[in-house]
Amino acid sequence: MFSPKSACVTSAILFAASIVRAAPPSYEVQFLGEGYTGTAINEAGSVVGNLNVDGTRLRAAVSQGGQPFDLLPLPPGMETSRANDINDDGVIVGAVCPNQYVITQPLAARWRPVGQGYEIDLLGTLPGDPYSNAYAVNNLGDIIGGSGFFGWNLTNPVLFTDGGPMRLPHIGQAADVNDRRRVVSGPQLLDLNTMDVQTIALPPGNWQGVVSAALNNNDDFAGYILGYSGCSTFPIRYRQGSGWHFLGGCATTTSATAINDRGDALFYYYFTSCGAYFEGEGSFGLGELIDPSQGPWLIEWFGANDINESRQIVAYALNLSTNVRGAVRLTPIRTYALSVANLVGGETAVFSVQGGTPLAGQYLVYSLRGPGSTYVRQLNVTLDLAQPVLLASGPADASGRFERSIRVPNAASGRSVWFQAAERDRTTNIVDRVVR
């Protein structure tokens, strides 16, 4: 989701220490393009972001399935663009501009996927306002943003409708909108169905207020809380069931930038570091999550931009081997294991998968015929096996782990058996074991 960042100032930093309650997932790195910055990721893993053309000109772009970015089209008369958010239907929102200054002179825009491309709509401004920007879109198609006289500080919160922008009442700058049609603004939640506002009381202490950056579908939100001292801001999260949670120590510039429905949150410290807080597991620097097999990567301090329910993260990184910088998609690496290396027909063994989508339906299949593309209608996936047979099914747990005891078929004795785990719309690698 769109995550506003504070202005650049000198910071005194206290980075949150890693608090390990459970082993975090290891991540693989998919490089999406040099010079690009990713801003948001949807549940399918599609990423939107922006190409920095020459330091002032930006061009909005989208990456599908971990592939390199493709630039989004510009309407006639427009020169630059930026993308802020994408929903699960692939609708992208952001802004365009007739000159190079899309950062300071934006006009809100929406890109809709049509066939193999995109159509773009300009969303307008409030009467009398020269500029607007679309910050976030939910899966119902609601688009929120800002309208005003200064493109970097659009103070009038708006809902972009088919009839034009509508000013949202009772709140300040709108930051995000969820599928419950709640809009977050600071410590306030505006219900678009009723236009009622819920104001969350600040935690105990002497605080100026909260600036929100992201909202999940449970009405939990994240951003930063502002005090009065020199080291005055803290990355913070609010959950409806448990209240406020400080994600790290103070700095003059720091914030949480994203939160998913599990409560996982991303955060950064200006010019120092960025990290992830995984619910029930603790805080980790993004760099330490990358598996060593991926090579040397440095996640830049401003790189923690969004996280989805599968814990895929969009970030900005430097490849220390090639010295190339750009957007990356970080995806948890699945691991697979059988309790024994050689199985005997009729015996029982334990098969486990880690790194799956939390609570998603999982399936374990086997094949005596080896690799071979097979579409399994029951699973709604294409497996890399020939004539697969279902052994076990069920949901993964809250950490994405799926474990089942399986009985090896007697017909498999003395033959090679290929086991594969899958979940709806997603397929794992093949595990090859010999049954004797």
The predicted-structure confidence for 138-186, as pLDDT tens digits, reads as follows 999 999 999 999 888 899 999 999 999 999 999 999 999 999 999 999 9
Q: Tokens 């948001």 belong to which residue?
A: 40
Whole-number pLDDT of residue 366: 81
| % of the chain at pLDDT higher than 90 | 65
Check if the beta carbon of residue 416 is closer than 8 Å to that of residue 435.
yes
Domain boundaries, the chain: 27-332, 335-435
CA distance 293 to 329: 16
CA distance 188 to 206: 18
Whole-number pLDDT of residue 427: 57
Among residues 85, 52, 44, 57, which one has the least CA distance to residue 309?
44
Q: Could you tell me the pLDDT band of residue 237, with boundaries at 50, 70 and 90?
A: very high
> Quick one: residue 295, left, alpha or beta (phi over 0 = left, psi -120 to 50 = alpha)?
left
Whole-number pLDDT of residue 19: 35
Q: Quick one: CATH architecture of 335-435?
A: Sandwich (2.60)
Whole-number pLDDT of residue 424: 66
CA distance 149 to 107: 11
* Rounded average pLDDT over 116-139: 97
Stronger pLDDT, 21 or 364, i.e. the higher one:
364
* Rounded average pLDDT over 392-397: 85
Is the pLDDT assigned to residue 9 strictly greater than 60? no
Cβ within 8 Å of residue 49, ≥6 positions away:
32, 36, 37, 38, 39, 40, 60, 61, 62, 63, 69, 83, 314, 327
Length of the chain: 436
Q: Could you tell me the pLDDT band of residue 351, with boundaries at 50, 70 and 90?
A: confident
- Same CATH fold, 335-435 and 27-332? no
Is the pLDDT assigned to residue 12 strictly greater than 50? no
For the chain, the 3-state helix, strand and coil shares in percent, each to the nearest 5, are 0, 50, 50
- Name the β-bridge partners of 134: 145
Whole-number pLDDT of residue 228: 92
Largest distance between two CA atoms of the chain: 79
Is the pLDDT assigned to residue 219 strictly greater than 80? yes
CA 141 to chain centre: 18
CATH of 27-332, one of 2.130.10.10, 3.40.50.1000, 3.90.220.20, 1.10.357.10: 2.130.10.10
CA distance 342 to 13: 53
Whole-number pLDDT of residue 2: 35
Give the single-character DSSP code of 251.
Answer: B
Q: Tokens 């009381």 belong to which residue?
A: 201
Helix or strand (DSSP H, E) at 289 = helix 286-289
Check if the beta carbon of residue 278 is closer than 8 Å to that of residue 33.
no
Helix or strand (DSSP H, E) at 149 = none
Q: Nearest 5°: phi and psi at 210?
A: -120, 140
Token pair in block for residue 119 = 């159509």
Q: What is the mean pLDDT of the chain?
A: 87
Strand residues in 320-401 grouped as ranges (E): 324-332, 335-338, 342-343, 348-354, 361-367, 374-376, 381-383, 389-395
Is the pLDDT assigned to residue 7 strictly greater than 60? no
Whole-number pLDDT of residue 98: 96
Q: Could you tell me the pLDDT band of residue 399, with boundaries at 50, 70 and 90?
A: confident
Q: Could you tell me the pLDDT band of residue 409, with boundaries at 50, 70 and 90?
A: confident
Rg (CA), the chain: 23
Whole-number pLDDT of residue 22: 55
* Rounded average pLDDT over 97-112: 96
Q: Could you tell me the pLDDT band of residue 350, with boundaries at 50, 70 and 90?
A: confident
Is the pLDDT assigned to residue 357 strictly greater than 80? no
Is the pLDDT assigned to residue 436 strictly greater than 80? no
Whole-number pLDDT of residue 69: 98
- Model confidence, pTM: 0.81
